[in-house]
């Protein structure tokens, strides 16, 4: 599980995970929506592909820090960075 710990754009922090089956699951910033996309790793970067119906694909690219404790996303629109760090547990999962 990952969430933003720093965001130069001030966007609300999503919670997301990467599964061992090649899926990126984003729970949104308030855990109300779970969207699933595919991801792959190329040259050390993590590429998430989101398909916009009727439009085409959008790529989300995360760059891991050397120690793999953080991921950095650079917005292609604003050129600002968001930094994500691991969470110990998924805050979006309901107990029971």
Considering the chain, what percentage of its residues have pLDDT values greater than 90? 77
For residue 90, pLDDT over 90 is answered with: no
Residue 38 lies in a domain: yes
CATH classification at residue 32: 2.40.128
Residue 29 lies in a domain: yes
Over the range 4-26, which residues count as b (16 or more CB within 10 Å of their CB) and which as e?
beebeeeeebbbbbbeeeeebbb
Model confidence over 25-69: pLDDT tens digits?
999 888 888 899 999 999 999 999 999 999 999 999 999 999 999
**What is the domain count for the chain?**
1
Residue 15 lies in a domain: yes
Over the range 33-72, which residues count as b (16 or more CB within 10 Å of their CB) and which as e?
eeeebebeeeeeebebeeeeeeeeeeebebeeeeeeebbe
Q: pTM here?
A: 0.88
Considering the chain, what percentage of its residues have pLDDT values greater than 70? 97
Whole domain around residue 70: which residue ranges? Answer: 2-86
Residue 92 lies in a domain: no
Residue 94 lies in a domain: no
Residue 96 lies in a domain: no
Residue 91 lies in a domain: no
């Amino acid at each position: 599980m990952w969430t933003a710990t720093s965001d130069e754009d001030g966007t609300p922090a999503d919670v997301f995970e990467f599964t061992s089956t090649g899926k990126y699951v984003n729970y949104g910033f308030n855990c109300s929506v779970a969207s699933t996309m595919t991801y792959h790793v190329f040259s050390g970067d993590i590429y998430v592909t989101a398909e916009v119906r009727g439009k085409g694909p959008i790529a989300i690219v995360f760059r891991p820090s050397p120690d793999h404790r953080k991921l950095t996303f650079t917005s292609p629109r604003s050129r600002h960075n968001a930094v994500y760090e691991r969470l110990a547990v998924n805050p979006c999962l309901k107990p029971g």
